[in-house]
Chains A and B, each alone.
Chain A
Amino acid sequence: MKQQNFLKANLKKHFNYSYFRTGQKEIILDIMKGKDVLGVLPTGSGKSLCYQLPAKLLNGTTIVVSPLISLMIDQVKQLKAMQFKEVVALNSFMEYEEREQVFNKLNSYKLIYVSPELLQNNELLTRLSQIEVSLFVIDEAHCISQWGHEFRPNYLKLHSIANALNEPPILALSATATENVQSDIIGALNRPNMIKHIYPMDRENITFCVREVSNEKDKQKRIIHFLSNHRVPTLIYFSSRQSTEIVAKEIARKLPQLRIAFYHGGMDQSERISIQQQFMNDQLDLICCTNAFGMGINKKNIRLVIHYHFPSQIESYIQEIGRAGRDGNASLSLLLFSKKDYYIPANLIQKELPTEAELREVFTQLAEIYKDGYQYPITEQHLEHVLQINEIQTRFLYFQFEKHGMIKNNTIIYEKGHWIQAYHKINQLRIKRLSFKEKKISEMIQWMQKDDCLRKHLYKSFQDTYTEPAFACCSNCGFKLSEWKPEQTIVSKKPPASWEEKLKELFLIGVDNETD
Chain B
Amino acid sequence: MLFSGIVLKCCLHINDERSTAAIFHLLKGKRSIQTVQDTHIYHLDHLYGIHQQLTKQTFDRKIKELHHQDLLIPKSSTKNIYKPTDKAKKWIENNKGNLPMNRFQGLKYYESGKIFYQRLLLLIQTLTNSKMHHLHFIPVIDNRSVENWVREAYKQIKPNENKVLSKLHEELHSLLVHFSDKEASLFVNKLTGFKTYGMSIQQLAMMYKMDAIDIQLLLTSMIHYILNVITKEHARYPWMAFIANHIKDNHFMTKSAQKTYHLLNKEKFSIEQIAKRRRLKENTICDHIVEIALNDNHFPIEYYVEKNTFEEILNAIKQTNSLKLKHIKEKVNDDISYFQIRLTLAQIKTRLNR
B197 touches A283 (CB 8 A): yes
A274 touches B166 (CB 8 A): no
Provided the pairs A271-B201, A274-B197 are in contact, do residues A499 and B188 lie with their beta carbons within 8 angstroms? yes
Please give, as numbers and ranges, the residues of chain A lying within 8 Å of B250 by CB-CB distance: none
- Nearest chain A residue, comparing its CB with the CB of B186: A499
Query: Is B142 part of the binding interface, using a Cβ–Cβ cutoff of 8 Å?
Result: yes
Query: Is B148 part of the binding interface, using a Cβ–Cβ cutoff of 8 Å?
Result: no
Q: Which chain A residues in 258-290 approach chain B with CB under 8 Å?
A: 261-262, 267-271, 273-275, 277-278, 281, 283
Alpha-carbon distance between A77 and B197 when the two chains are bound, in angstroms: 16
Give the Cβ gap from A513 to chain B, nearest Cβ, in Å. 5
User: Which of B141, B168, B169, B200 neighbours the largest number of chain A CB atoms within 10 Å of its CB?
Assistant: B200
Query: Is A78 part of the binding interface, using a Cβ–Cβ cutoff of 8 Å?
Result: yes
Please give, as numbers and ranges, the residues of chain A lying within 8 Å of B201 by CB-CB distance: 271
- Nearest chain B residue, comparing its CB with the CB of A268: B53
A513 touches B131 (CB 8 A): yes
Give the Cβ gap from A102 to chain B, nearest Cβ, in Å. 11
Query: Is B61 part of the binding interface, using a Cβ–Cβ cutoff of 8 Å?
Result: no
A499 touches B144 (CB 8 A): no
B194 touches A508 (CB 8 A): yes
Provided the pairs A499-B181, A513-B133, A515-B133 are in contact, do residues A508 and B193 lie with their beta carbons within 8 angstroms? yes
Q: Which chain B residues in 117-173 approach chain A with CB under 8 Å?
A: 124, 128, 131-133, 136-142, 144, 162, 165-166, 168-169, 172-173
Provided the pairs A278-B197, A499-B176 are in contact, do residues A509 and B169 lie with their beta carbons within 8 angstroms? yes
A506 touches B138 (CB 8 A): no
Alpha-carbon distance between A509 and B137 when the two chains are bound, in angstroms: 20
A261 touches B140 (CB 8 A): no
Alpha-carbon distance between A158 and B226 when the two chains are bound, in angstroms: 53
Alpha-carbon distance between A212 and B302 when the two chains are bound, in angstroms: 81
A273 touches B142 (CB 8 A): yes
A270 touches B140 (CB 8 A): yes
Residues of chain A at interface, number, CB under 8 A: 37
Alpha-carbon distance between A106 and B131 when the two chains are bound, in angstroms: 35
- Nearest chain B residue, comparing its CB with the CB of A78: B138
B131 touches A499 (CB 8 A): no
A503 touches B200 (CB 8 A): no
The A interface is mostly helix, strand or loop, or mixed, namely helix
Please give, as numbers and ranges, the residues of chain B lying within 8 Å of A274 by CB-CB distance: 140, 192, 197-200, 203
Alpha-carbon distance between A330 and B192 when the two chains are bound, in angstroms: 32
Alpha-carbon distance between A249 and B132 when the two chains are bound, in angstroms: 35
A507 touches B206 (CB 8 A): no
Query: Is B264 part of the binding interface, using a Cβ–Cβ cutoff of 8 Å?
Result: no
A507 touches B142 (CB 8 A): no
B132 touches A513 (CB 8 A): yes
Please give, as numbers and ranges, the residues of chain A lying within 8 Å of B189 by CB-CB distance: 499, 502
B138 touches A507 (CB 8 A): no
User: Which of A77, A78, A274 neighbours the largest number of chain B CB atoms within 10 Å of its CB?
Assistant: A274
Provided the pairs A81-B138, A507-B169 are in contact, do residues A513 and B162 lie with their beta carbons within 8 angstroms? yes
- Nearest chain A residue, comparing its CB with the CB of B202: A271
Interface bits A488-516 vs B (CB < 8 Å: 1, else 0): 00000000001110111111110101010
B202 touches A77 (CB 8 A): no
Please give, as numbers and ranges, the residues of chain B lying within 8 Å of A498 by CB-CB distance: 181, 185
B169 touches A503 (CB 8 A): yes
Provided the pairs A82-B136, A98-B144, A513-B132 are in contact, do residues A506 and B197 lie with their beta carbons within 8 angstroms? no
A509 touches B176 (CB 8 A): no
Alpha-carbon distance between A268 and B188 when the two chains are bound, in angstroms: 21
Query: Is A252 part of the binding interface, using a Cβ–Cβ cutoff of 8 Å?
Result: yes
Query: Is B56 part of the binding interface, using a Cβ–Cβ cutoff of 8 Å?
Result: no
- 5 new A-B contacts at CB < 8 Å, known A270-B200, A274-B197, A504-B169: A78-B138, A261-B202, A262-B202, A269-B142, A275-B203
Of all A-B residue pairs in the complex, the 8 with the closest CB atoms, nearest first, are: A499-B185, A507-B169, A506-B193, A277-B197, A271-B200, A274-B200, A278-B197, A81-B136
| 14 examples of A-B residue contacts, CB within 8 angstroms | A261-B200, A262-B202, A269-B142, A270-B141, A270-B142, A274-B140, A283-B196, A283-B197, A499-B185, A499-B187, A502-B188, A508-B128, A508-B131, A513-B162
